[in-house]
Amino acid sequence: MRQIFLFFLFATALAAKAQPGSNASFAVQKDNPEVQAIDQVLVSNYLNHYCYSTDSLLLNSFGYEKNQLPSFTAEIIEERMKNLDADTPFDLVYNSTVQGFIDLYAVRRKDVTSKVMGMAQLYFPMIEEKLTKFNIPIELKYLAIVESALNPTAISRVGAGGLWQFMPGTAKLYGLEITSYQDDRFDPYKATEAACKYLKFLYDTFDDWQLALAAYNSGPGNVNKAIRRSGGKKDFWSIKPYLPKETQGYVPAFIAVNYIMNHTSEYNLYPKKPLITCYEVDTVHVKSRLDFDAMSKVLGMNVQDVTYLNGTYKLKEIPDNGQKHYITLPVSKVGLFIANESLIYAQSAIAEKPKETVVANNSDAIGGAKKVTEKVVWEDSWKKHKVTKGQTLAAVAKKYNVTTSQIKQWNGLKSNSLKAGQVLKIKTRVKKTISITESDPVATAQKAMGGESAADSTEVAPTPKPAPAPKSQVYTVRKGDTLNLIARKYGVTIAEMKKWNPKLTDRLQVGQKITIKK
């Protein structure tokens, strides 16, 4: 995909270099219109291809009515499956279990399948490229549908994330970085590369693709145990009863997706147009800290679109930490980014840069002027989240960029189960600008030597001393309170609270009085 646009990027870079004065004036420079025109021709040739059409009138070769649900006999489906099986190393069989998943994708979840078909236009070319690189079967692209329905930001109830649903431990084992700033599981390129490495390892271990798929879902250990319990048999259908319940349906679902994605028109299924296709995006190397909000304003983009295309960056910014970073953008914005790269980095820096001002007519105890520095800091803040139907604890944790264990601790939860309408307390971090006042050393030195600064020309009434803080206060326990929450609220430790309240235990009662000493 990137090779397609080499000429485009090269020409755009030359055009951007030729425009004088862009960084000095901070004026947004336009992209080169000639190069844009060439790029539009390149992209349109791919998008007008039959494979990437979303026109149901064009794709409806059987003349179905809009909401018609075609059905076929077992003999017809079995014959189609045999034809598919002849061209793949997978053992694509047809049985009642597979038929159940065919009905799921073709009937009960028809709308979801249409969305997946649209998203396939964005991700399948990239996935196919990676699979070919590692010399593993191209049909494994359908595994991403089983795993995440091609949703790059999907997260499961147990914390698996991304297009290929990696758990954190396995992700790190295969080179995916997880930090406070970024989570590579949500980078489609990096996650697909890691998935290819893991699948190749599993196939080398079991020498069978069905068993490799089962191991991808439940882990190699569970597959080995199932093999031993089956008496040493090494095919999926023989060990199926000994596998975890979820894994028993995993391979049949994969077979059904293979079948459906190769017979969509027969089932009156058509892709829903995606936000963007793979040929409309490209990556650009980032050379400094980049703030998504600042860049979106310069490029005239919706920040939500930038976030969607770059889900790996959890805080909507790319850090300047000495590592190589790339940002994915629509091709129509790549030239604009290159032309305004310095401006984008400058605006990103301004978004975090503290502002300093010297306040006149204000003196300290010695008489020197005071300097007020405004700094951006992070501050804890509590939010209430109302659980929606079907929402998991992991999904709530991802939304607020916290962990499931933190949510359980803050709310006194003993399990991961949530109920619709349940209200959770979530601690988040928000940016806040604070003012720090300090003496100006130059003005203070002038005053000490008998000199007079501009700040001394006006008399200022002395600042009254603040009233002393109370030595202690009594807190009344409310519903949902824990010792940890109360301690955090007052900036003390649980040990100190128990020292001040000798009879205090971890079990709190509503209305209970607790003494807090300052």
pLDDT digits (tens, 9 = 90+) for 54-104: 556 666 666 778 888 888 999 999 999 999 999 999 999 999 999 999 999
Decide if 394 contacts 428 (C-beta within 8 A). no
Amino acid at 46: Y
Q: Are 294 and 347 in contact (CB under 8 A)?
A: yes
Q: In which residue are the tokens 């299924």 written?
A: 269
Mean predicted confidence (pLDDT) in 285-309:
90
pLDDT tens column, 251-272: 999 999 999 999 999 999 988 8
Q: Residue 322 pLDDT > 60, yes or no? A: yes
**pLDDT of the residue at 241:** 95
CATH for 471-518, among 3.10.20.880, 3.20.20.70, 3.10.350.10, 3.30.413.10? Answer: 3.10.350.10
Per-residue pLDDT tens for 121-139?
A: 888 989 999 999 999 999 9
Which band of pLDDT confidence, cut at 50, 70 and 90, is reported for residue 31? low
Lowest model confidence (mean pLDDT) among 162-176, 358-372, 458-472? 358-372
Distance of alpha carbon 100 from alpha carbon 232, whole angstroms? 29
Do 354-460 and 471-518 have matching folds?
A: yes
Sheet holding 423-439, edge to edge: 355-363, 369-386, 423-439
Q: If pLDDT is split at 50, 70 and 90, which confidence band does 49 have? A: very low
pLDDT-derived band at 331, boundaries 50, 70, 90? confident
367 pLDDT above the threshold of 80: no
Scan for tokens 């202690």, then name that residue: 472
Beta strands in 287-422 (DSSP E): 290-291, 317-318, 325-330, 355-363, 369-386
pLDDT of residue 190: 93
> Where exactly are the structural domains of the chain?
3-42+279-350, 55-176+189-267, 354-460, 471-518
Using the predicted structure, report yes or no on whether residue 24 has a pLDDT greater than 80: no
Reported confidence tier of residue 212, pLDDT bands at 50, 70, 90 = very high
SS3 252: helix
> Confidence class of residue 483 from pLDDT cuts 50, 70 and 90?
confident
Mean pLDDT score of the chain, rounded to an integer?
78
Whether 356 has a pLDDT exceeding 80, the answer reads no
- Give the residue numbers annotated as catalytic, written as ranges: 147
Residue, of 147 and 37, whose pLDDT is higher: 147
At 408, the pLDDT band (50, 70, 90 cuts) reads confident
Confidence tier at 379 by pLDDT (50, 70, 90) = low
In angstroms, the CA 84 to CA 259 distance is 8
Burial class (CB in 10 A: 0-12, 13-18, 19+), 145: buried
What's the pTM? 0.59
Fill in the amino acid letter for 141: K
Amino acid at 215: A
Asked if pLDDT for residue 237 goes beyond 90, the answer is yes
Write down the H helix ranges in 178-266: 188-206, 209-218, 220-229, 236-239, 245-248, 250-261
CA pair distance 179, 188, nearest whole angstrom: 17
CATH code, 55-176+189-267: 1.10.530.10
- pLDDT of the residue at 332: 84
pLDDT on residue 27: 65
Region 47-58: mean pLDDT is 52
How far, rounded to the nearest angstrom, does the alpha carbon of residue 94 sit from its chain's CA centroid? 37
Q: Is 431 helix (H, G, I), strand (E, B) or coil?
A: strand
User: What local confidence, expressed as pLDDT, does residue 320 receive?
Assistant: 85
* Residue 29: per-residue pLDDT: 67
If pLDDT is split at 50, 70 and 90, which confidence band does 429 have?
low
H or E segment and range at residue 308? helix 303-309
Residues in the chain: 518
Range picked from 27-41, 285-299, 360-374 for highest mean pLDDT? 285-299
Mean pLDDT of the 104-115 span? 90
In this structure, of 58-62, 145-149, 490-494, the range with the lowest mean pLDDT score is: 58-62
> Whole-angstrom Cα distance, residue 55 to residue 168?
40
More confident residue, 459 or 105: 105
User: Within 13 Å of residue 132, how many CA atoms lie on the same side as its CB?
Assistant: 6
d(CA 180, CA 185): 13
**Residue of 336, 341, 328 whose CA lies nearest to 281:** 328
The pLDDT score that the predictor gives to residue 330 is 87
More confident residue, 28 or 316: 316
The correct CATH number of 354-460 out of 3.10.350.10, 3.40.50.1980, 3.40.50.2000, 3.10.20.30 is: 3.10.350.10
**Ramachandran category for residue 421: left, alpha or beta (phi over 0 → left; psi -120 to 50 → alpha):** left
Give the separation between CA 499 and CA 111, rounded to whole angstroms: 61
Stretch (H or E) spanning 464: none
User: Looking at 58-67, 217-226, 325-334, 483-492, which range is the least confident one?
Assistant: 58-67
Lowest-confidence region among 187-201, 236-250, 384-398: 384-398
Residue 2 has a pLDDT of 41
Handedness of CA 250, 253, 259, 261 (dihedral sign): negative
